[in-house]
Each structure stands twice: as structure tokens, then as C-alpha cells.
Amino acid sequence: MHLLRIALRSLNNRRFTALLTIFAIALSITLLLAVERVRTETRSSFASTISSTDLIVGARSGSVNLLLYSVFRIGNATNNIRWSSFEHFAQHPKVNWAVPLSLGDSHQGYRVLGTNEDYFKHYQYSRKHHLKLRDGRFFSDQAPFEVVLGAEVAEALNYELGQEIVLAHGVAKISLVNHDDKPFTAVGILERTGTPVDRTLHIALAGMEALHIDWQHGAPAYGNRKISAEQALEMDLQPKEITAMLLGLNSKIATFALQREINQWRGEPLLAILPGVALQELWSLMSTAEKALFIVSLFVVLTGLIGMLTAILTSLNERRREMAILRSVGARPWHIAGLLILEAFALALAGIVLGVALLYLAIALAQAPLQSYYGLYLPFSAPSAYEWTLLAGVLLAGVVMGAVPAWRAYRQSLADGLNIRL
């Protein structure tokens, strides 16, 4: 107890250096815990990019490929599936709801998704959050040339309600073929979700069919064969093919049975995947970056502890008289060593406490923006068991660092401390 009191008074005499050391350790602790929480919650948020969807069904390919183009709007489908297949499984007794997805067009680099009104009812993300409107309304299946914009699309392109939008064929940022004869009108803008929905333009399936009703063999019609928007409205706009479909089942127990049934269906080659399993498979491909980020944060902590070690070692020469006086009043060499170890312990502990406080302050300030812009929710909760383990490891490392100057002080003799060095 006496050593601790002396250690604290000694630190108080060097308060400026001590405070800088504490602050450096605190920043490293904040970064370490922040990286860990962001890593954990990113993984959780990534896994819940699409929630409450039991199966994703598309043309037979790979599970990751199907997930990428149907959920993340990355890449292209290897093939389409027939509308009759969608109707067959939409009416399946085990299926509660089914949402069709049709991809292939874009607008200034942003993907266009053709779907129906059920998409806005059943699509959920994160912790079962439904899509909400910031402005306007959802499109109607009976109005083919209406579009609902994702938040990022509206903000990046400065679009407002009533804006006329011309879609482009294909997914290139700069397209040579535009559907300029069939413009769409923006009727709604979604709230931010932090998911690919923000970067998507949503139109009705009838609108997607109307865009390509006069296309043949992947090429637009010209001259008299061209069909105007007014003429398209009078025609049958029932799609013949879609890209994929989302299925919600009546019972989770039936998921694997229906998945097997779809994969073995003889009507056409189909692939049904569980979104959670495919998301974990995709996340495992990015595990290297995840580990690299964690290693960088550990090195930052190590830098802070080395700074503490340097500060204590630098002060040893300045404290020779202090050590000698302590020895002269009866302090043993191990008392001197213990004093320096306690100083290191106090600095590390204070840095950890301040670092945790800074972490919660950062969470309080950044929680809402991260949720809104990136779909990342950082809970305001107590440190987990793993985080406590990290903090204990940092505290132990601080004590070990303090043992180095303690050993040097231990070896100093009383005579060495009293000698005057010129």
C-alpha cells in the first residue's frame, strides 16, 4: 500500500509525461476495442443484409454467385428462370410468400431491380427492419413506369420526386444503349438502410418487361418495329423470365426439405440457397482482411505500451537521486523494482479506463450515423468476455513492460545513485 502511494505521488510529480502516456495507451485501447466491435458487428450486420428470407432461388450456378447478384447486385446471373417456375413455387403449400427479382439494367452505374409490391412488404434487413420511405410512396404494379429510388441513388444524383429517369441497358456505368423512349418517374425515395438497397432503383416487373418488349435477340428494334411507352401500356406485360426469387416459408422446419425439392426439380435446373449459410461462406473469403485489421490494432496497442516503457526508462536517469534517497531510508532493491512495476501498472490501468470511456463516447456519437449510412449498429453494452480478455492481456503486457526498467533499477546500487556524473 505504501509503495502504491509512493508510486502515485511519483507519477504526480511527473504528471505531464504521465498524462501523455495514459492518453497514448487510452487511444490505442479505444482503437483496439472499436476495431473488435466493428469487426463483430460488421459480421453480424453482413449476415443480416437480408433477413427473414428462408431461401433464394435462381438458375443453377454457385451459391456465392447467386447471393452476389440477387442480394448485393454484384455480377450477373448465369441464366434466367422461367416465370412458370416462379408461379409453381409461389403456390407451393410450404411457401408463405414469394418475391420475384429481375435484374439486367442500370442507371449511371446503379443497378435496376424489377420486382413487385410484395418486395416492400417482405424484404427485411439487419434485425428484421422493413424498408421505409423517406419521401413519396411505393410504386404500383399497375403503373409500369414508376420507380422507387434507394437513398444513395437519390443523394448522389440529386434526384427528387417527380424526376424523369431514363434507364440504360446493361450494367455499365456508361451505356451506349438507353431506353430513352420509355422514361420512368420517381414516386418514392427509401430511407437509408446501409445495404445494397440504397444503391438500387426499384421498378415494377411490368416496367422491366415494357423496356424490352420490342427487343429481339438482345438488340433493340428500329423504325416501325419500335414500340412506344403508350403502346406498351396496352400490351400484355406479364414477364416470361426473371433472374431470381426470394421465398419465405410457413415453417422453418420445412426449409431443407423444400431446398432439396427445388434443387432436384425436373422442370428446369434451379438452385436454392440459405442466405445465412451463403453469407457466412462469402464472409469467410474476407477473413484475411478481418485478421489484418485486428493485427494492426494490436500493433497500435503495442506502440502505446512501448511509449510507456520509453517514458519510464528515460526518467530513470533523472530519478537516480530519488532512488538513492529511498535506499538510504531503508528501501530494499526489490522495493525500488516494485515501485516501477506499480507505476507501469497504474499507467496501463488508467489508460485502459480512459480508453473504455472514450470508446463509449465514440459509440454514443457515431451510433446513429453508422446505423443510417452503413447499416452498422454498435450496441451500447458492457464489454464482452473476449473484450475483457483483451483488456486483461493489455494490462498484463503493461506490467511486463514495467519489469524492464524495474530490473535496471534493481541492479542500481546505492553508491551509483549517489555518485555525481559529469
Q: Are 262 and 273 in contact (CB under 8 A)?
A: no
84-93, 108-117, 153-162, 210-219: lowest mean pLDDT where?
Answer: 210-219
> Measured between alpha carbons, how far is 281 from 144 in angstroms, rounded to an integer?
37
What is the average per-residue pLDDT within 136-159?
91
145-149, 223-227, 278-282: lowest mean pLDDT where?
Answer: 223-227
> Measured between alpha carbons, how far is 382 from 144 in angstroms, rounded to an integer?
50
Greater pLDDT, 289 or 139: 139
Q: What pLDDT shows up at residue 270? A: 94
Cα three-residue angle 314-315-316, rounded to 5 degrees = 95
Q: What pLDDT shows up at residue 278? A: 84
pLDDT at 85 over 90: yes
> Measured between alpha carbons, how far is 67 from 57 in angstroms, rounded to an integer?
9
CA dist 82 → 57, 189, 212 (Å): 12, 30, 16
Q: Are 255 and 92 in contact (CB under 8 A)?
A: no
| Beta strands 146-149; 184-190: pairing state | parallel
> Measured between alpha carbons, how far is 3 from 111 in angstroms, rounded to an integer?
67
pLDDT at 420 over 60: no
Whole-number mean pLDDT of the chain? 81
What is the average per-residue pLDDT within 350-357?
90
Compute φ and ψ for 282, nearest 5 degrees: -65, -40
pLDDT tens for residues 225-243? 677 778 878 888 889 999 9
Counting every residue written for the chain, the total comes to: 422
Q: What pLDDT shows up at residue 77? A: 83
Q: How many CB atoms lie within 10 A of CB 101?
A: 25
Greater pLDDT, 119 or 396: 119
Comparing CA positions, the residue from 292, 308, 296, 293 lying closest to residue 395 is 308
pTM (predicted TM-score): 0.71
Q: Are 139 and 204 in contact (CB under 8 A)?
A: yes
Residue with cell 446493361: 170
Helix (H) or strand (E) holding 189, with range, is strand 184-190
Joined grid coordinates for residue 9: 505521488
Q: Are 134 and 151 in contact (CB under 8 A)?
A: yes
Q: What pLDDT shows up at residue 413? A: 45
Q: List b or e across 321-351, with b for residues whose CB sees 16 or more CB atoms inside 10 angstroms.
A: ebbbebbeeebebebbbbbbbbbbbbbbbbb
pLDDT tens for residues 189-198? 999 887 889 8
What is the average per-residue pLDDT within 1-9?
61
For every residue of 153-172, DSSP letters joined together read HHHHHT--TT-EE--EESS-
pLDDT at 419 over 60: no
Which segment, 63-72, 273-282, 320-329, is predicted with the most confidence on average?
63-72
pLDDT at 48 over 80: no
For every residue of 248-260, DSSP letters joined together read EES-GGGHHHHHH
